[in-house]
Structure 1
Amino acid sequence: MTEHIGFVGAGNMASAIVNGLLGRNVCPAAQIAVYDHHHAHYGRFEDQGVHGVETVQQLVEFADIIFLSVKPQNYDEVLQNIKPFADGKIIVSIAAGISSAFIKKRLGESAKIVLAMPNTPLLLGEGATALCQCAPLTDAEYAIVKAIFAAGGVVQDLPEEQMTAVISVSGSSPAYVYLFAKAVIEEAVEQGIEAAVAKALICQTLIGSAKMLTDSGKEPEELIQMVSSKGGTTIAALNALYAHGFEQAIQDGMRHCTKRAEELGK
């Protein structure tokens, strides 16, 4: 890759994307720069050969592709700051609820935009990222951005009208999984199993179960049936979960996630 890549915001997601780029040799560190109000965040990037710049102007002038890895609440300020220097640049937004119309209102209708919703497993090269190509971005330009995220995991294309809802599917959902694991570990301890043992077992179970979903060719309901036998232990557990509204609780959480994303985008 010959393009120069810049990050406004030097947080965990910027670090995850940089790790993917460098770990998969997608581009050299010399072609990556970061800008953040807090220059103290630069250390982990500079240790990898990525340089931190003094001003957002320097960042935008350096980069062909600019990742806006800041909170939605800071977008107005950031977009105002980069506007004088952003003509012709590819803008990649990874903030919840921010639309292409929101960005174009501030940068102009000719702005080249990709909307992205990655998740934190990107830090380990196991991310899941939803991407949306926004006109007038070309297919070739979009392919470059897609390759950047593919270096850190799985990428799926989505239309813009689904980019808010997908936050509840993959952007926020790692937290649901961690909450489930936490509950399992805590109950295992109550039943006399050491926490470290329980954590090792549930983590591998989650990994294996995900592989069954991706590789077995079976739908979730079929896989549930494979684990369950009439009158057995799994049915007893499932019946308790159904009685507590397990599925409904997850779905309600997803709806609240989407609603909050919509609020942040206004």
Structure 2
Amino acid sequence: MSDKILGFIGAGNMAGAIINGIVGTKTFPAQQVFVYDINREKREALRQKAGVRTVDSIEQLIEKCDIVFLAVKPQNFAEVLASIKPVVNQKILFVSIAAGISTHYINSALGCRCPVIRTMPNTPLLIGKGATALSRTENVTDEDFQLVLSLFGACGTVTVLDESRMNAVISVNSSSPAYIYLFAKAMLDSAVKQGIAADTALQLICQTLEGSAGMLRQPELTPEMLIKMVSSPGGTTLKALDVFYEHHFEQIVDEAMRACTKRAEELGK
């Protein structure tokens, strides 16, 4: 078990999911986790649920912790980094979970060449099914990086990328749940129009999505092969696919993902 002390600036949904994941799976002990949030009720709620410790100021958290998670919204980063700048040192490892915030920006704002791990998780992290992409600066030790990987691994799967791909990956794992929910909503709406009860349709859709994901994980099967497995000549599936192809479904997905990446770059720091 690591003797590192973890700190979380921010006690929102993502911070709560990570903390509950690592404590609930005994990946990391609750007594070695400190939380600060400007909202006292939020940090107290985490203390009561997960058994972590809280502090009354952001400065206290920095002074106590070896690894600090920056679990605040991108628009609050400048204010948070400015408030901790006077008390940081190069021994502290920062872990960012915000979209578009570069490691260069964090170092520049802190005026310190601190080791930084940049992560891009997604909301299924809240139920232990997250998909998190990570990159790191060169001065992050292998030991610390493996520890952070294990923390996110307690809440789902992890993938290591070069930081140059961290804006693009937002369209792949972070924003993409919304695409899937939109597709599921469209299926659900159509099912109801065709006389199927909404709760019945939703159960079938969810199980189909889970089963399809399982099929995609089979190493010997490609997406193209799986499409052919479902598509009998002259059958119902091909009729549905014809409509998707007619409306350039694949092109729409590509354009949507590129728009997502472009916006990440526009918002990036």
Q: 2:156 aligns with which of 153, 166, 173?
A: 153
- Give the distance between the partners of 2:82 and 2:263, measured in 1 at CA: 24
Amino acid of the structure 2 residue aligned with 1:158: L
1:176 alignment counterpart: 179
- Give the distance between the partners of 1:119 and 1:189, measured in 2 at CA: 29
- Give the distance between the partners of 2:79 and 2:158, measured in 1 at CA: 29
1:81 alignment counterpart: 83
Matched positions, count? 266
Note the aligned Cα RMSD (angstroms): 1.3
Q: 1:54 aligns with which of 56, 79, 82?
A: 56
Q: Does structure 2 retain, via aligned residues, the 8 Å contact 1:73–1:264?
A: no
Q: Does structure 1 retain, via aligned residues, the 8 Å contact 2:88–2:112?
A: no
1:251 alignment counterpart: 254
2:115 alignment counterpart: 112
2:4 alignment counterpart: 3
**How far off is 1:104 after superposition?**
1.1
Q: 1:202 aligns with which of 205, 211, 220?
A: 205
- Give the distance between the partners of 1:217 and 1:16, measured in 2 at CA: 33
Q: Does structure 2 retain, via aligned residues, the 8 Å contact 1:92–1:116?
A: yes
**How far off is 1:34 after superposition?**
1.5
Establish whether residue 141 from structure 1 lines up as the match of residue 172 from structure 2.
no
Amino acid of the structure 2 residue aligned with 1:28: P
Q: 1:12 to 1:216 in 2, by over 3 A?
A: same
SS at match of 1:37: coil
- Give the distance between the partners of 2:207 and 2:65, measured in 1 at CA: 40
Q: Does structure 1 retain, via aligned residues, the 8 Å contact 2:120–2:174?
A: yes
Q: CA-to-partner distance for each residue in 1:38-57, whole Å, 9 max, x for gaps?
A: 22212431222123321111
- Give the distance between the partners of 2:231 and 2:147, measured in 1 at CA: 45
Establish whether residue 262 from structure 1 lines up as the match of residue 265 from structure 2.
yes
- Give the distance between the partners of 1:69 and 1:20, measured in 2 at CA: 15
The two structures have a TM-score, normalised by structure 2, of 0.95
Q: CA-to-partner distance for each residue in 1:11-58, whole Å, 9 max, x for gaps?
A: 111011112101210112111122111222124312221233211111
- Give the distance between the partners of 2:255 and 2:30, measured in 1 at CA: 42
**How far off is 1:130 after superposition?**
0.5
Q: CA-to-partner distance for each residue in 1:103-140, whole Å, 9 max, x for gaps?
A: 11112352110010011111111111101021211111
Identity of aligned residues (%): 52
The two structures have a TM-score, normalised by structure 1, of 0.96
2:168 alignment counterpart: 165
1:189 alignment counterpart: 192
Q: CA-to-partner distance for each residue in 1:195-244, whole Å, 9 max, x for gaps?
A: 11011000000000001011252111111111111111111111111122
SS at match of 1:193: coil
Q: CA-to-partner distance for each residue in 1:132-170, whole Å, 9 max, x for gaps?
A: 021211111211111111111111110010011000000
1:22 alignment counterpart: 23
Q: Does structure 2 retain, via aligned residues, the 8 Å contact 1:91–1:113?
A: yes
2:124 alignment counterpart: 121
1:36 alignment counterpart: 37
Unpaired segments of 5 or more residues in structure 1? none
- Give the distance between the partners of 1:42 and 1:67, measured in 2 at CA: 14
SS at match of 1:145: helix
